[in-house]
Chains A and B, each alone.
Chain A
Amino acid sequence: MRKEKQVRLAEKRSVFEALVAEHEAALLRYVARILHDADLAQDVVQNALVKLFRRWRDVVKPGVNIGNWLYRVAHNEAVDCIRKRQRRQLLHFKQGVERQTLEHREHNPLFRENHAREKVQAALEALDMRERQVVLLKIYEEKSYREISDITGLSSGNVGYILHHAIKKMAARLSDAEKQAKDIEYHEKQSET
Protein backbone atom coordinates (compact mmCIF):
# COMPACT_ATOMS: atom_id res chain seq x y z
CA MET A 1 0.00 0.00 0.00
CA ARG A 2 2.74 2.38 1.02
CA LYS A 3 4.86 1.34 -1.91
CA GLU A 4 1.97 2.01 -4.27
CA LYS A 5 1.58 5.50 -2.86
CA GLN A 6 5.29 6.16 -3.27
CA VAL A 7 5.18 4.99 -6.88
CA ARG A 8 2.19 7.23 -7.58
CA LEU A 9 3.96 10.20 -5.99
CA ALA A 10 7.08 9.56 -8.05
CA GLU A 11 4.98 9.41 -11.22
CA LYS A 12 3.22 12.64 -10.32
CA ARG A 13 6.55 14.26 -9.68
CA SER A 14 8.01 13.22 -13.00
CA VAL A 15 4.90 14.42 -14.88
CA PHE A 16 5.04 17.70 -12.99
CA GLU A 17 8.71 18.19 -13.83
CA ALA A 18 7.97 17.52 -17.50
CA LEU A 19 5.18 20.13 -17.38
CA VAL A 20 7.51 22.66 -15.76
CA ALA A 21 10.12 22.06 -18.46
CA GLU A 22 7.47 22.45 -21.15
CA HIS A 23 5.83 25.65 -19.97
CA GLU A 24 8.34 27.60 -17.86
CA ALA A 25 9.98 29.52 -20.73
CA ALA A 26 6.70 30.69 -22.29
CA LEU A 27 5.26 31.62 -18.89
CA LEU A 28 8.38 33.53 -17.86
CA ARG A 29 8.33 35.49 -21.11
CA TYR A 30 4.63 36.26 -20.84
CA VAL A 31 4.76 37.38 -17.20
CA ALA A 32 7.96 39.37 -17.72
CA ARG A 33 6.20 41.26 -20.53
CA ILE A 34 3.36 42.13 -18.20
CA LEU A 35 5.55 43.13 -15.27
CA HIS A 36 8.69 44.36 -17.11
CA ASP A 37 10.66 42.66 -14.38
CA ALA A 38 12.45 39.34 -14.83
CA ASP A 39 12.93 38.67 -11.09
CA LEU A 40 9.30 39.27 -10.23
CA ALA A 41 8.32 37.11 -13.20
CA GLN A 42 10.28 34.24 -11.65
CA ASP A 43 8.32 34.60 -8.40
CA VAL A 44 5.01 34.74 -10.23
CA VAL A 45 5.75 31.69 -12.38
CA GLN A 46 6.96 29.77 -9.34
CA ASN A 47 3.67 30.55 -7.57
CA ALA A 48 1.67 29.45 -10.61
CA LEU A 49 3.57 26.15 -10.77
CA VAL A 50 3.17 25.56 -7.03
CA LYS A 51 -0.56 26.14 -7.48
CA LEU A 52 -0.59 23.57 -10.25
CA PHE A 53 0.98 21.02 -7.90
CA ARG A 54 -1.49 21.86 -5.13
CA ARG A 55 -4.53 21.61 -7.38
CA TRP A 56 -3.25 18.62 -9.31
CA ARG A 57 -6.48 16.62 -9.20
CA ASP A 58 -8.60 19.54 -10.47
CA VAL A 59 -6.25 20.48 -13.28
CA VAL A 60 -4.53 17.37 -14.56
CA LYS A 61 -7.47 15.57 -16.09
CA PRO A 62 -8.81 15.07 -19.58
CA GLY A 63 -10.44 18.12 -21.10
CA VAL A 64 -8.26 20.64 -19.28
CA ASN A 65 -5.49 22.35 -21.22
CA ILE A 66 -2.76 22.70 -18.60
CA GLY A 67 -0.84 25.29 -20.60
CA ASN A 68 -3.89 27.57 -20.81
CA TRP A 69 -4.66 26.98 -17.13
CA LEU A 70 -1.10 28.01 -16.26
CA TYR A 71 -1.37 31.15 -18.40
CA ARG A 72 -4.58 32.08 -16.58
CA VAL A 73 -3.13 31.52 -13.11
CA ALA A 74 0.13 33.29 -13.98
CA HIS A 75 -1.81 36.27 -15.35
CA ASN A 76 -3.89 36.54 -12.18
CA GLU A 77 -0.75 36.30 -10.05
CA ALA A 78 0.90 39.00 -12.17
CA VAL A 79 -2.11 41.29 -11.76
CA ASP A 80 -1.95 40.76 -7.98
CA CYS A 81 1.73 41.55 -8.11
CA ILE A 82 1.07 44.81 -10.01
CA ARG A 83 -1.55 45.83 -7.47
CA LYS A 84 0.82 45.17 -4.59
CA ARG A 85 3.57 47.09 -6.37
CA GLN A 86 1.25 50.03 -6.98
CA ARG A 87 0.30 50.12 -3.31
CA ARG A 88 3.96 50.03 -2.33
CA GLN A 89 4.82 52.77 -4.81
CA LEU A 90 2.12 54.97 -3.35
CA LEU A 91 3.68 54.47 0.03
CA HIS A 92 7.12 55.38 -1.27
CA PHE A 93 6.17 58.74 -2.73
CA LYS A 94 5.48 57.53 -6.24
CA GLN A 95 5.81 60.89 -7.93
CA GLY A 96 9.34 61.48 -6.72
CA VAL A 97 10.52 58.08 -7.88
CA GLU A 98 8.87 58.47 -11.30
CA ARG A 99 10.40 61.89 -11.85
CA GLN A 100 13.84 60.47 -11.12
CA THR A 101 13.40 57.60 -13.61
CA LEU A 102 12.13 59.96 -16.31
CA GLU A 103 15.11 62.28 -15.85
CA HIS A 104 17.39 59.27 -15.97
CA ARG A 105 15.74 58.10 -19.23
CA GLU A 106 16.10 61.45 -20.97
CA HIS A 107 19.80 61.63 -20.22
CA ASN A 108 20.31 58.07 -21.32
CA PRO A 109 21.53 57.86 -24.98
CA LEU A 110 20.02 54.40 -25.31
CA PHE A 111 16.60 55.94 -24.71
CA ARG A 112 16.70 57.92 -27.96
CA GLU A 113 17.89 54.88 -29.92
CA ASN A 114 15.04 52.81 -28.59
CA HIS A 115 12.49 55.55 -29.08
CA ALA A 116 10.33 53.53 -31.49
CA ARG A 117 10.27 50.63 -29.04
CA GLU A 118 9.43 52.98 -26.21
CA LYS A 119 6.52 54.38 -28.19
CA VAL A 120 5.10 50.92 -28.78
CA GLN A 121 5.65 50.07 -25.13
CA ALA A 122 3.89 53.27 -24.05
CA ALA A 123 0.96 52.52 -26.36
CA LEU A 124 0.78 49.02 -24.91
CA GLU A 125 0.93 50.36 -21.36
CA ALA A 126 -1.91 52.76 -22.10
CA LEU A 127 -4.27 49.83 -22.69
CA ASP A 128 -6.26 48.46 -19.82
CA MET A 129 -5.22 45.15 -18.32
CA ARG A 130 -7.70 43.01 -20.24
CA GLU A 131 -6.78 44.58 -23.59
CA ARG A 132 -3.09 44.23 -22.87
CA GLN A 133 -3.56 40.59 -21.93
CA VAL A 134 -5.37 39.84 -25.18
CA VAL A 135 -2.80 41.73 -27.29
CA LEU A 136 0.11 39.95 -25.58
CA LEU A 137 -1.49 36.57 -26.06
CA LYS A 138 -2.37 37.19 -29.69
CA ILE A 139 0.59 39.12 -31.05
CA TYR A 140 3.44 38.10 -28.77
CA GLU A 141 2.44 34.58 -27.79
CA GLU A 142 0.69 33.89 -31.11
CA LYS A 143 -2.28 32.16 -29.51
CA SER A 144 -5.45 31.52 -31.46
CA TYR A 145 -8.75 33.18 -30.55
CA ARG A 146 -9.94 29.86 -29.12
CA GLU A 147 -6.88 29.53 -26.89
CA ILE A 148 -7.22 33.13 -25.74
CA SER A 149 -10.86 32.47 -25.02
CA ASP A 150 -9.88 29.46 -22.91
CA ILE A 151 -7.25 31.44 -21.00
CA THR A 152 -9.31 34.55 -20.37
CA GLY A 153 -12.75 33.02 -20.04
CA LEU A 154 -14.09 35.38 -22.73
CA SER A 155 -15.99 34.23 -25.78
CA SER A 156 -14.13 34.14 -29.12
CA GLY A 157 -16.30 36.98 -30.42
CA ASN A 158 -15.46 39.06 -27.40
CA VAL A 159 -11.74 38.37 -27.87
CA GLY A 160 -12.00 39.66 -31.45
CA TYR A 161 -13.91 42.75 -30.30
CA ILE A 162 -11.38 43.57 -27.56
CA LEU A 163 -8.45 43.04 -29.92
CA HIS A 164 -10.00 45.27 -32.57
CA HIS A 165 -10.49 48.11 -30.08
CA ALA A 166 -7.06 47.63 -28.54
CA ILE A 167 -5.34 47.83 -31.93
CA LYS A 168 -7.39 50.91 -32.84
CA LYS A 169 -6.37 52.59 -29.60
CA MET A 170 -2.73 51.72 -30.13
CA ALA A 171 -2.81 52.95 -33.73
CA ALA A 172 -4.29 56.28 -32.62
CA ARG A 173 -1.73 56.66 -29.86
CA LEU A 174 1.16 55.76 -32.13
CA SER A 175 0.08 58.23 -34.80
CA ASP A 176 -0.25 60.94 -32.12
CA ALA A 177 3.25 60.17 -30.90
CA GLU A 178 4.51 60.31 -34.49
CA LYS A 179 2.92 63.72 -35.01
CA GLN A 180 4.40 65.01 -31.76
CA ALA A 181 7.86 63.74 -32.73
CA LYS A 182 7.57 65.46 -36.11
CA ASP A 183 6.48 68.73 -34.48
CA ILE A 184 9.41 68.61 -32.08
CA GLU A 185 11.81 67.92 -34.95
CA TYR A 186 10.35 70.80 -36.93
CA HIS A 187 10.66 73.23 -34.00
CA GLU A 188 14.21 72.08 -33.32
CA LYS A 189 15.17 72.71 -36.94
CA GLN A 190 13.56 76.13 -36.92
CA SER A 191 15.32 77.14 -33.72
CA GLU A 192 18.65 76.00 -35.24
CA THR A 193 18.12 78.13 -38.37
Chain B
Amino acid sequence: MKNKAKHNVTMKKCEDIQKSLLAYMTRELGKAPSELVSRHLRKCKACQAEAAEVRATLKLLRQESRAEPHWPSRLSDEHRRRIAWTMDHPALDWLCARHAAVSILVALLVVLAVLGLAWRAARVRQDIRVQETVYPITIGRPPFHTNHTDPVPENPAPEDVSAPEATP
Protein backbone atom coordinates (compact mmCIF):
# COMPACT_ATOMS: atom_id res chain seq x y z
CA MET B 1 0.00 0.00 0.00
CA LYS B 2 2.82 2.32 0.98
CA ASN B 3 4.71 1.41 -2.18
CA LYS B 4 1.70 2.17 -4.29
CA ALA B 5 1.33 5.60 -2.75
CA LYS B 6 5.00 6.31 -3.29
CA HIS B 7 4.71 5.14 -6.87
CA ASN B 8 1.80 7.52 -7.44
CA VAL B 9 3.77 10.45 -6.10
CA THR B 10 6.87 9.75 -8.18
CA MET B 11 4.96 8.93 -11.36
CA LYS B 12 3.45 12.39 -11.39
CA LYS B 13 6.69 13.95 -12.55
CA CYS B 14 6.96 14.44 -16.30
CA GLU B 15 10.47 13.01 -16.32
CA ASP B 16 9.27 9.74 -14.84
CA ILE B 17 6.32 9.60 -17.18
CA GLN B 18 8.62 10.11 -20.16
CA LYS B 19 10.97 7.39 -18.95
CA SER B 20 8.11 4.91 -18.75
CA LEU B 21 6.58 5.82 -22.13
CA LEU B 22 8.19 2.94 -23.97
CA ALA B 23 7.13 0.47 -21.31
CA TYR B 24 3.63 1.94 -21.53
CA MET B 25 3.54 1.59 -25.32
CA THR B 26 4.86 -1.96 -25.28
CA ARG B 27 2.44 -2.95 -22.50
CA GLU B 28 5.10 -3.62 -19.93
CA LEU B 29 3.58 -1.37 -17.29
CA GLY B 30 1.04 -2.70 -14.85
CA LYS B 31 -2.59 -1.61 -14.95
CA ALA B 32 -2.37 1.14 -12.35
CA PRO B 33 0.80 2.83 -13.71
CA SER B 34 -0.60 2.59 -17.25
CA GLU B 35 -3.70 4.46 -16.16
CA LEU B 36 -1.52 7.10 -14.51
CA VAL B 37 0.49 7.57 -17.67
CA SER B 38 -2.57 7.81 -19.91
CA ARG B 39 -4.21 10.28 -17.53
CA HIS B 40 -1.03 12.38 -17.49
CA LEU B 41 -0.70 12.24 -21.27
CA ARG B 42 -4.18 13.66 -21.70
CA LYS B 43 -3.22 16.90 -20.02
CA CYS B 44 0.55 17.35 -20.54
CA LYS B 45 1.65 18.78 -23.90
CA ALA B 46 5.37 18.14 -23.36
CA CYS B 47 4.77 14.48 -22.60
CA GLN B 48 2.42 14.22 -25.58
CA ALA B 49 5.21 15.48 -27.85
CA GLU B 50 7.64 13.02 -26.31
CA ALA B 51 5.13 10.18 -26.72
CA ALA B 52 4.62 11.10 -30.38
CA GLU B 53 8.37 10.92 -30.97
CA VAL B 54 8.68 7.54 -29.27
CA ARG B 55 5.65 6.22 -31.16
CA ALA B 56 7.08 7.37 -34.49
CA THR B 57 10.43 5.70 -33.78
CA LEU B 58 8.72 2.48 -32.72
CA LYS B 59 6.61 2.56 -35.88
CA LEU B 60 9.69 2.98 -38.06
CA LEU B 61 11.45 0.15 -36.26
CA ARG B 62 8.46 -2.17 -36.64
CA GLN B 63 8.14 -1.30 -40.33
CA GLU B 64 11.82 -2.02 -40.76
CA SER B 65 11.50 -5.36 -39.00
CA ARG B 66 8.67 -6.39 -41.34
CA ALA B 67 10.48 -5.20 -44.48
CA GLU B 68 13.60 -7.15 -43.63
CA PRO B 69 15.02 -9.69 -46.05
CA HIS B 70 13.98 -13.24 -45.33
CA TRP B 71 16.73 -14.71 -43.26
CA PRO B 72 17.09 -18.49 -43.55
CA SER B 73 14.86 -20.25 -41.07
CA ARG B 74 16.80 -23.53 -41.09
CA LEU B 75 20.39 -24.45 -40.53
CA SER B 76 22.14 -25.67 -43.67
CA ASP B 77 22.85 -29.40 -44.10
CA GLU B 78 26.55 -28.77 -43.57
CA HIS B 79 25.93 -27.12 -40.21
CA ARG B 80 23.54 -29.90 -39.23
CA ARG B 81 26.22 -32.46 -40.08
CA ARG B 82 28.66 -30.65 -37.79
CA ILE B 83 26.16 -30.80 -34.92
CA ALA B 84 25.49 -34.48 -35.62
CA TRP B 85 29.25 -35.15 -35.55
CA THR B 86 29.37 -33.59 -32.08
CA MET B 87 26.62 -35.92 -30.95
CA ASP B 88 28.29 -38.99 -32.46
CA HIS B 89 31.84 -38.30 -31.28
CA PRO B 90 31.65 -36.72 -27.84
CA ALA B 91 35.25 -37.67 -26.92
CA LEU B 92 36.74 -36.15 -30.08
CA ASP B 93 34.51 -33.14 -29.67
CA TRP B 94 35.75 -32.75 -26.10
CA LEU B 95 39.31 -32.66 -27.42
CA CYS B 96 38.37 -30.23 -30.20
CA ALA B 97 36.65 -27.93 -27.72
CA ARG B 98 39.80 -27.80 -25.65
CA HIS B 99 42.22 -27.81 -28.54
CA ALA B 100 44.30 -24.95 -27.15
CA ALA B 101 44.80 -26.64 -23.77
CA VAL B 102 45.39 -30.04 -25.41
CA SER B 103 47.96 -28.53 -27.81
CA ILE B 104 49.82 -26.87 -24.94
CA LEU B 105 49.78 -30.12 -22.96
CA VAL B 106 51.08 -32.16 -25.91
CA ALA B 107 53.79 -29.57 -26.58
CA LEU B 108 54.82 -29.68 -22.91
CA LEU B 109 54.96 -33.47 -22.97
CA VAL B 110 57.11 -33.44 -26.11
CA VAL B 111 59.47 -30.88 -24.55
CA LEU B 112 59.69 -32.95 -21.35
CA ALA B 113 60.35 -36.13 -23.35
CA VAL B 114 63.12 -34.45 -25.35
CA LEU B 115 64.68 -32.99 -22.20
CA GLY B 116 64.49 -36.39 -20.50
CA LEU B 117 66.18 -38.10 -23.41
CA ALA B 118 68.89 -35.44 -23.55
CA TRP B 119 69.51 -35.80 -19.80
CA ARG B 120 69.72 -39.59 -20.10
CA ALA B 121 72.15 -39.33 -23.01
CA ALA B 122 74.29 -36.89 -21.02
CA ARG B 123 74.33 -39.30 -18.06
CA VAL B 124 75.43 -42.22 -20.24
CA ARG B 125 78.14 -40.10 -21.86
CA GLN B 126 79.37 -38.99 -18.44
CA ASP B 127 79.53 -42.59 -17.20
CA ILE B 128 81.60 -43.61 -20.19
CA ARG B 129 83.95 -40.67 -19.63
CA VAL B 130 84.45 -41.63 -15.96
CA GLN B 131 85.18 -45.21 -16.87
CA GLU B 132 87.64 -44.09 -19.53
CA THR B 133 89.57 -41.87 -17.09
CA VAL B 134 89.78 -44.51 -14.37
CA TYR B 135 90.51 -47.41 -16.67
CA PRO B 136 91.91 -46.09 -19.91
CA ILE B 137 91.50 -48.60 -22.66
CA THR B 138 94.85 -49.75 -23.99
CA ILE B 139 95.55 -52.19 -26.77
CA GLY B 140 96.68 -55.63 -25.73
CA ARG B 141 95.51 -55.30 -22.20
CA PRO B 142 92.10 -56.16 -20.82
CA PRO B 143 90.22 -52.97 -20.06
CA PHE B 144 89.08 -53.89 -16.63
CA HIS B 145 90.75 -55.65 -13.74
CA THR B 146 89.01 -57.64 -11.14
CA ASN B 147 91.29 -56.36 -8.45
CA HIS B 148 92.09 -52.70 -8.02
CA THR B 149 95.62 -53.38 -6.68
CA ASP B 150 98.45 -54.03 -9.11
CA PRO B 151 98.93 -57.69 -9.93
CA VAL B 152 101.52 -59.47 -7.90
CA PRO B 153 104.17 -61.28 -9.98
CA GLU B 154 104.21 -65.03 -9.58
CA ASN B 155 107.97 -65.29 -8.85
CA PRO B 156 108.93 -62.22 -7.09
CA ALA B 157 112.59 -61.24 -7.39
CA PRO B 158 114.62 -62.06 -4.34
CA GLU B 159 115.04 -59.13 -2.13
CA ASP B 160 118.39 -57.56 -2.28
CA VAL B 161 119.45 -58.20 1.21
CA SER B 162 122.93 -56.87 1.73
CA ALA B 163 125.18 -58.54 4.27
CA PRO B 164 125.38 -56.70 7.46
CA GLU B 165 128.46 -54.75 7.82
CA ALA B 166 131.03 -56.39 9.95
CA THR B 167 131.34 -54.73 13.14
CA PRO B 168 134.75 -54.26 14.49
Q: Among residues 52 to 95 in chain A, which have CB atoms less than 8 Å away from a CB atom of chain B? A: 53-54
Q: How many A-B residue pairs have CB under 8 A?
A: 95
A54 with B93: in contact, given A120-B61, A167-B58, A171-B57 (CB under 8 Å)? yes
Decide: B75 and A24 in contact? CB cutoff 8 A.
yes
Q: Does A151 contact B (CB under 8 A)?
A: no
In the complex, the answer to whether A121 meets B28 with C-beta atoms within 8 Å is: no
Residue-wise, chain A 134-145 has the 8 Å CB interface mask toward B (1 for contact) of: 010011100011
Q: Is B64 an interface residue (CB 8 A)?
A: yes
Q: Give every chain B residue within 8 A of A171 (Cβ-Cβ).
A: 53-54, 56-57
> B interface, how many residues as a size bin?
20 to 34
From A25, A29, A43, A117, contact of B79 by CB (8 A): A43
State whether A53 touches B83 (Cβ < 8 A).
Answer: yes
Binary interface profile of A, 106-126, with partner B (CB < 8 Å = 1, else 0)?
Answer: 000000000011001100100
Using an 8 Å CB-CB cutoff, how does the interface string of A14-53 with B read, 1 for contact, 0 for none? 0010001000110011001100001001110110011001
B20 within 8 A of A: yes
Main SS at interface, chain A: helix
Nearest CB of chain B from residue A37's CB, rounded to whole Å:
10
CB neighbours (8 Å) of A161 from chain B are: 19
Contacts of B112 in A (CB 8 A): none
Q: Taking CB as reference atom, which chain B residue is nearest A138?
A: B26
Query: Is the pair B72, A28 in contact by a Cβ cutoff of 8 Å?
Result: yes
Query: Of all chain A residues, which has the CB nearest B65?
Result: A140
The answer to whether A160 touches B71 (Cβ under 8 A) is no
Q: Are A42 and B87 in contact (CB under 8 A)?
A: no
Which residues between 15 and 56 of chain B lie within 8 Å of chain A, taking CB atoms? 19-23, 26, 28, 53-54, 56
Docked pose: A54 CA to B62 CA in angstroms: 36
| Cβ contact within 8 Å between A117 and B71 | no
What A residues does B71 contact at CB under 8 A?
28-29, 32-33, 38, 41
Pick the residue among B60, B73, B82, B93 that contacts A46 (CB under 8 A): B82
Residues in chain B near residue A45, CB distance under 8 A: 75, 79
Given contacts A120-B61, A171-B57, contact A54 B83 (CB under 8 A): no
Instruction: Offer 6 A-B interface pairs, CB within 8 angstroms, sorted by A.
Output: A25-B74, A49-B83, A53-B86, A116-B64, A160-B22, A174-B60
Please give 9 more A-B residue pairs, beta carbons under 8 A apart, in addition to A24-B73, A117-B67.
A38-B71, A49-B83, A116-B64, A117-B64, A120-B64, A138-B26, A160-B19, A164-B20, A167-B58
A contacts, CB < 8 Å to B = 13, 16, 20, 24-25, 28-29, 32-33, 38, 41-43, 45-46, 49-50, 53-54, 116-117, 120-121, 124, 135, 138-140, 144-145, 160-161, 163-164, 167, 170-171, 174-175
